Copies of this chain bind each other. A is one copy, B any other.
Amino acid sequence: MTVSRALNTPERVSPEVLARVTAAVRRSGYVPNRVAGGLASARSRLVAAVVPTLSGPVFLDTVQALTAALADAGYQLMLGQSGYADSREDALLEAIIGRRPDGVVLTGILHSAEGRRRLLAANIPVVETWDLTPTPIDMLVGFSHERIGHAVAAFLHGRGRRRLAVVAGDDDRARRRLAAFREAARELGLADVEPVTVPAPTTLRSGRDALGQLLARPGGVDAVFCSSDLLALGVLTEARARGLDVPSRLAVVGFGDNEFAADLEPALTTVRIDGAAIGRQAARFVIDRAEGRTVAERIVDLGFSIVERASA
């Protein structure tokens, strides 16, 4: 017990005991067993993060920042992938709940509402990210996909574009940006938007193919909003291969502001999301809860911005 105190609350132990313990620890190479500690204290100092998949650079910054922020506070990150098979989701939840983590960060969506209920039933704090809803399960940090759709449509309209199109990955959030984009275009009195849906995760190849499809349609197109920067790079690549000048003949807008966006030729106009900030806020949420602090504001809207560059 005295050793436990010396290690965890050194200020509550006499200097002499502290010195003796420290020396013994060093001499023996003792590393406390956190599994036993977790069992006794009911605090695992483990946080689970669930991503649909790690491929595709979308959630990378978030996971990276989350891991770092947690590590700084003495917490460890357990990673789970929900995306690659629906049937696995149940097993994933069992695995998570069985470890009694101090919190779960949902990056992207957990498919079943049932699953989220189980997490709450297990009394595990939940942070949803990358989205905004007025009725989160527990805590939430994200931004509004609807507002982004509207904002990009207004942006393109303001630049004189009149025949808008969208290339969107087949996932829920991209679909909602798309829907808002179409609605805004309608409100602005523009022709109905041509949507092309591509499989998720999005790729450069999908972007190239999508532009091909778009150009084959009657009516013509003078602006494309892509649901990822990679898709936008595909559109840029295909446009160049076809001798279609960007931005004079075609405006291109991406999503994500990946590191490479600013340095493409032409530089990519895109929607900037601060993925790292999302990770940091999620860590703050979980840690606050784990340390017993009550979280006053459970919803944080980190917003977005349109970064205007040469491509639009």
Residues of chain A whose beta carbon lies under 8 Å from any beta carbon of chain B: 29, 31-36, 38-39, 44, 46, 53-55, 57, 60-61, 63-64, 67-68, 71, 74, 76-81, 84, 88, 91-92, 94-95, 97-100, 118, 121-122, 203-205, 208, 230, 233-234, 237, 240-241, 259-260, 262-265
A71 and B19 CA atoms in complex are apart in Å by 43
Q: How many subunits of this chain does the assembly comprise?
A: 2
Assuming the contacts A31-B122, A32-B98, asked whether A263 and B67 have C-beta atoms less than 8 A apart, the reply is: no
Q: Which residues of B contact A204 (CB under 8 A)?
A: 259-260, 263-264
Is B263's CB under 8 angstroms from A241's CB? no
Q: A34-B100, A35-B35, A68-B81 are in contact. List 5 more A-B contacts (CB 8 A).
A: A29-B118, A71-B80, A203-B263, A204-B260, A204-B264
CB < 8 Å neighbour of A34 from B33, B71, B98, B203 = B98
CB < 8 Å neighbour of A44 from B35, B84, B237 = B35
Q: Which residues of B contact A98 (CB under 8 A)?
A: 31-34
- State the Cβ distance, A267 to closest chain B Cβ, in Å: 10
A265 and B234 CA atoms in complex are apart in Å by 10
Q: Which 10 pairs from chain A and chain B are nearest by CB?
A: A204-B260, A34-B98, A54-B64, A31-B97, A205-B263, A204-B263, A77-B79, A79-B79, A35-B39, A35-B38
CB < 8 Å neighbour of A78 from B38, B61, B76 = B76
Is A100's CB under 8 angstroms from B55's CB? no
Q: Identify the closest chain B residue to A84 (Cβ).
A: B68
Q: Which of A77, A92, A99, A264 has the most CB of B within 10 A?
A: A99
Q: Identify the closest chain B residue to A276 (Cβ).
A: B55
- State the Cβ distance, A30 to closest chain B Cβ, in Å: 10
Q: Which residues of B contact A262 (CB under 8 A)?
A: 205
Is A67's CB under 8 angstroms from B80's CB? yes
Q: Which residues of B contact A61 (CB under 8 A)?
A: 55
Q: Which residues of B contact A260 (CB under 8 A)?
A: 203-205, 230, 233
A77 and B237 CA atoms in complex are apart in Å by 37
Q: Which residues of B contact A234 (CB under 8 A)?
A: 263
Is A240's CB under 8 angstroms from B259's CB? no
- State the Cβ distance, A200 to closest chain B Cβ, in Å: 13
Q: Which residues of B contact A208 (CB under 8 A)?
A: 263
Is A55's CB under 8 angstroms from B60's CB? yes
Q: Identify the closest chain B residue to A29 (Cβ).
A: B121
A297 and B153 CA atoms in complex are apart in Å by 58
Q: Which residues of B contact A74 (CB under 8 A)?
A: 95
Is B240's CB under 8 angstroms from A34's CB? no
Q: Which residues of B contact A91 (CB under 8 A)?
A: 71
Is A94's CB under 8 angstroms from B205's CB? no
